[in-house]
Structure 1
Amino acid sequence: MITREATEKDLEILLEFEQGIVFAERPFNSTLIDGEIHYYDLNEFIKSPDATLIVVEDDDEIVASGYALIKTSEKDYNNFKSYAYLGFMYVKPEYRGKGINKIITDELVSWSTSRGITEVRLDVYAENESAVKAYEKAGFEPLLLTMRLKS
């Protein structure tokens, strides 16, 4: 398996991955609208100097994806000015459980640290136990739990 930066030629499969993420997240988020949803501007991640969108290939087939985006801290009291936000983490179902998410995470963290970024964050649904465990294996720890009340 190899990792590489995504290109515009990869957009068709990446858009399929995006819908796979939406499908996987629907059970954890009752606020999502029905139908097709687009979370990301994938083309922007490909072009932006402040982002990297990577894919993992197995025998010339794209089997996984993830991005890192450098963001500015919105809080003046944080001890960091910028951080890397990771997202679009998707592994095809038949490739899950093989350490591919860790490969992606390591690659994105490495990209971030090469740009002087020491703070790396991501969001995961608290009830998505398999994803939480995967990120904990990669060294992440819970920081904040967002709660909601539907009135």
Structure 2
Amino acid sequence: MNIITTRKAKKEDLETLLEFEQGIIEAERPFDPLLKEGKISYYNLEEMIFAEHVHLIVAVAEDEIVGSGYVRIEKSGSYHKNELNGYIGFMYVKPNFRGKRISSVILESLKDWAKKQGLKELRLDVYNENLGAIKSYERFGFNKSLINMKMEI
């Protein structure tokens, strides 16, 4: 297997990151019938590349970008133990690189950055039916905590 490294995303990575975003959306469409049809966007990736409170990274095998993720510093609810938390998102690994624990490399890098920022807690959202992602996050050390419910009326 190729050695996987991570680095901070650069503006030159934007085209690849936009492709990854569409890959995430297509993977999530079966789990969320309330997503709009056609091309949609979840993120302002260019803004995230330069934001100080967001650490957007790419995973690289040789010279190829094979994955991505970010951690964003967020204010926790006044009722939470930790004033701030790190919110994980934009987790993506190219299909032909899946099953090689690249998501763990990305998560470890994000966790390290969050620790350096003084954060003591990481959070993320994942669709209940996305069993592969849930298994990966649990293997990394995340625990299920809350179920978000919705209905179309």
Q: Calculate the TM-score normalised by the size of structure 1.
A: 0.97
5+ unaligned residues in a row in structure 1: which ranges? none
Residue number in structure 2 paired with 1:36: 39
Deviation at 1:150, TM superposition (A): 2.4
Structure 2 counterpart of 1:72 = 75
Q: In the alignment, what sits opposite 2:93?
A: 91
Tell me what 1:111 maps to. Answer: 113
2:7 aligns to what? 4
Q: Tell me the distance in 2 between the aligned counterparts of 1:149 and 1:32.
A: 13
Letter in 1 for 2:23: G
Stretches of 4+ aligned residues off by more than 4 angstroms: none
Are 1:22 and 2:43 counterparts?
no
1:58 is aligned to: 61
- Superposed CA deviations along residues 62-105 of structure 1, whole A, max 9, x for unmatched, are 000000100111x2111111100010000000000101000001
Tell me which of 105, 124, 134 is aligned to 1:132: 134
Deviation for aligned residue 1:111: 0.4
Identity over aligned pairs, percent: 48
Per-residue deviation, residues 45-66 of structure 1 (Å, max 9, x unmatched): 2111111110011120100000
Aligned-residue offset at 1:118? 0.5
Provide the aligned C-alpha RMSD in A.
0.7
CA distance in 2, matches of 1:119, 1:2: 24
Give the Cα separation in 1 of the matches to 2:151 and 2:88.
Answer: 27
8 Å contact from structure 2 (residues 34, 152) kept in 1: no
Which structure 2 segments of 5+ residues have no match?
none
- TM-score, with length taken from structure 2: 0.96
How far did residue 148 of structure 1 move? 1.5
1:5-31 CA distance string (max 9 Å, x none) = 100000000000000000000000000
State the alpha-carbon separation in 2 of the partners of residues 27 and 128 from structure 1.
Answer: 10
CA deviations on 1:124-143 (whole Å, 9 max, x unpaired) are 00100000000000100111
Contact 2:31/2:130 (<8 A) preserved: yes
Equivalent position to 1:102, from 91, 101, 104: 104
Q: Secondary structure at the match of 1:90?
A: strand
The aligned amino acid for 1:144 is: L
